[in-house]
Structure 1
Amino acid sequence: MNLSIKNHGIQFVTEGICPFQDMETYYAQLEEITKKLFKASRAKAFCHAARGNSEGYGTWAHTDHAPGSWSTEMAKIAATQQSNQSLPDHFLPPGLTMDDAKNILKAKRFAVISVWRYLGPTQKCRKSHLALLDASSLQGPDDYLHFELRTAPDSSGLSYSGQNFRLKAKEEGSNTNHRWFYFPNMDKDSEAIIFLVYDSKPTFDSHCHIPTVFHAAFFDPFSPPEEPERQSVDVRILLTWDHNVE
């Protein structure tokens, strides 16, 4: 099956993916790749999460951000701009600035994507794969539950509180019609997965119109027992379009 962001919220990519060097170089590579791939006016890699043990993996099928949170934040910024008030950068998602917010406000469309990549320690990923839900297979609001994710204060004293969704578990009445995908034996030097965090104008056919992709790590019973825990990184990227795009 040929998965795409446009139709499923998921896309497997190899073009332009090079052996990992460092985060600064990788950010620049991803900005170039995603801007070209999605014909965006701008692409900005603004934060990432690196994971190297099973405790860091999300085993509940979850979203990275409640989609409505993005539109709510942008409405707040728009109101601030109209009243000529200043808004500190820490009111924005980590890694974004007011200049980025202004680009979003003037854009005809904006999206946030995550690029997930296996980093080792072996050449191929054979343990704790990332599974992703075809966004077009969501049936309705009864498929998921709302929760709030809170973090402890960082070195500057700031804490993060984010609105998220998770899919219902089997005992909670999970939907058996969902379509899940994963990519076995991903190569650490040449392959990556892109999935949607938010889209202001989603194009896939979702019954509940949630412009995001649920995902989770899962245990593969066929993984070699001696296989070490995988290391991975996912980078979040803001895309903006100043033109109409399908």
Structure 2
Amino acid sequence: MSDVVVEREATRQSEVEAKLNYLVPTGVRPVSYAYEPPAGVPRSTGEYRAHAVRISNARLRPPPGGLSLDRNGFELHRSTPALTDFSDEAAIRSVYYAQSERLLKTWTGAKRVVIFDHTLRDGHADRAQGVREPVLRIHNDQTFVSGPRRVRDHLPLEEADRLLRGRFAIVNLWRPVGEPVESSPLALCDSRSIDLRDAVAQDLVYPTMTGETYAFVHNLQHRWYYFPDMTPDEALLIKIYDSAGDGIARFTAHTAFEDSSAPPDAKPRRSIELRTLLFF
């Protein structure tokens, strides 16, 4: 960790207050497009409203009992990425995917890992084509309906049917790229504080298919956390879906947010997230 990051971390508060964008429950199913929609069609629908919430610094004030992917829906790990330059798509899919598969097996105990997607994000206005901006709406990437579909989307039918009879999960591996995160960090909601009625299914439209994600309505019981000044040597695991029950976190909610404690000259955030199927 750099001296600048250590110095900044020493001055961090145990929590910050920020406004997070929650879905307003109108009874109308929201729709978002993952590409430029047809002329006259809005990129996304759904009404959102910013609510002021307190976000705990998980480094200084973690959830009671400590952090666990299967209890809270997220956890932090330290590892040096095999790549420093994420501009080469082929290198990401070969070198970084291979390293991440090994790490996910070690960190989660999964017997098999299938990485099916990745997204690069950049807060710069002049970001490269194909690189997306940070998402400032509370969401989860899959639903209880779409989660199992992902297995069938990426594996042969007979193999998928066999694997779906056992426990599987969808987990995102999220990591800063190039430099520590100074702006638009991720806020993560403790899964135990989410009522299932808070999650609202919405369509995510691709050119060849329609997926389904969760938006979230406001609930005062939500407990939010973040890891300030994350470095490229740190990686977040985020639970997106889990077929297990019996008290295991099945998903969580997350969003980028505007951190009021960030320095005035904070650099735009750059990050990469892998989306993975884990089979136990």
For Structure 1 versus Structure 2, the TM-score category normalised by the shorter chain is: 0.7 to 0.9
Secondary structure of residue in 1 paired with 2:164: helix
CA distance in 1, matches of 2:245, 2:104: 17
CA distance in 2, matches of 1:73, 1:47: 11
Deviation, structure 1 residue 56: 1.9
Q: TM-score scaled to structure 2, two decimals?
A: 0.66
Count of residue correspondences: 202
Contact 1:17 1:192 in 2 (8 A): no
- Aligned equivalent of 2:172, options 114, 118, 123: 114
Which residue in the other structure is 1:229 paired with? 268
1:124 aligns with 2:167: no
Contact 1:7 1:203 in 2 (8 A): no
Give the aligned residue type for 1:146.
Answer: A
Contact 2:182 2:229 in 1 (8 A): yes
Contact 1:126 1:227 in 2 (8 A): yes
Which residue in the other structure is 2:243 paired with? 200
Which residue in the other structure is 2:259 paired with? 220
Contact 1:63 1:197 in 2 (8 A): yes
Q: Percent identity?
A: 29
Show structure 1 runs of 5+ residues with no match. 78-91, 169-173, 242-246
Deviation, structure 1 residue 144: 3.0
Which residue in the other structure is 2:202 paired with? 147
Q: Say which structure, 1 or 2, has more relative contact order (CA 8 Å, 6+ apart).
A: 1
Q: 1:105 to 1:205 in 2, by over 3 A?
A: closer
Give the aligned residue type for 2:75.
Answer: Q
Give the aligned residue type for 1:227.
Answer: A
Which residue in the other structure is 1:101 paired with? 160
Contact 2:186 2:257 in 1 (8 A): yes
The C-alpha deviation readout for 1:17-74, integer Å capped at 9, x for no partner, is 5553541211111110111222221112221011112762221110101122223666
Secondary structure of residue in 1 paired with 2:265: coil
Secondary structure of residue in 2 paired with 1:233: strand
The C-alpha deviation readout for 1:156-207, integer Å capped at 9, x for no partner, is xx2x311121111xxxxx211111111101111x10100111111045466x
1:240 aligns with 2:276: no
Structure with the larger strand share: 2
- Aligned equivalent of 1:10, options 74, 90, 95: 74
How large is the RMSD of aligned CA atoms in angstroms?
A: 2.3
Secondary structure of residue in 2 paired with 1:66: coil
Deviation, structure 1 residue 127: 0.3
Structure with the larger helix share: 1
Contact 1:41 1:240 in 2 (8 A): yes
Q: TM-score scaled to structure 1, two decimals?
A: 0.74
